[in-house]
Structure 1
């Protein structure tokens, strides 16, 4: 027996844009996001799931989540069916067809002379359209700002890793030079030891004749190798890292409107006002 069920908005909301899914795709980790949201995240240079951060294999395109896509279509159908019912004014019992721009609330025609006299009003559908347009514009701006921040962090990470690797190469070359110097000194010391041993194997008279020379060779000093400057300066790369990045981010961050407050305060200039 068929049963009616209602689709909740949480079931069909994208975890990235928080709006109803548009062309949902299924990731290998079983999470679903809008295709456009995923492409925006991946444009930042990291092919990871926006939720669990699991890496997605390169060269593969996530398939469409058909079950979720059908569920979204069902949700839109229910919304359209429910939108046909108009809400009545609690005071006059008339349909709410106007919107008061002063009090920021929907009203009926009888409310105008009684409660909203001299207030600027517009048609309800126009107000809904323009408010939604403003919210969408603000949402788009927020997404763009966060994408810019993500790109900044990605570039900052790449730059710091490149600097770390460059220093690693430099330190490695310095270490190799020092090791070559130590090897040369060890080779010279081995030659000296061999020469002294050869002198000691000579006959007594010959040994005594070259004794002073042999003693001078034996008195050579070997300095302790200086390996300073061969290790990575960890403090340089990690010291106050978060603070430094936050300072840079604060310098390039833009002001973002508070959606909850500003969406109801500002109406676009194109709203047709009814006086």
Structure 2
């Protein structure tokens, strides 16, 4: 009996950290697979062990074992069907790079003002799927995110202090601007746009 052809896409065998074909694939208890090196690098740089894709947090660092079956499937498919992702997704001069890509960086499609990071399409997915991230404020890619942070508290600048004519974070509101006249930055921006017309 003849075997039916197997149709797969490159995305099914891509590590969501490096956005390349899985190398030494390992699966973690939430079911997601990553390159062993990518996952180890993520966990070594963080104080907690969480899934880079769904953000599920593990109390203890899970033991990682290579998924030999998946590794063999990828090896066979590399020989026949898999091709690298199209080059137009990579960040070029003037593009905002994804802060979570390792190796060659993909172009960011959104920046998050809550996380203060920029994301390519793949790394942005948890912001659409995860309950904890759904309410974050996403904007068009912005290369100047650090300028939107309070130098003193490293928090997002959300308030405009009319008394001091400056942008401040919520910690500044409590610590140094009591009884000052303040508005949300959006409100101040709208007022200035109206007065400039």
Give the TM-score band, short-chain normalised.
Answer: 0.3 to 0.5
Relative to the length of structure 1, the TM-score reads: 0.30
**Larger radius of gyration between Structure 1 and Structure 2:** 1
Write 1 or 2 for the structure with the bigger share of strand: 2
Of the two structures, which has the highest relative contact order with CA contacts closer than 8 Å and spacing of 6 or more?
1
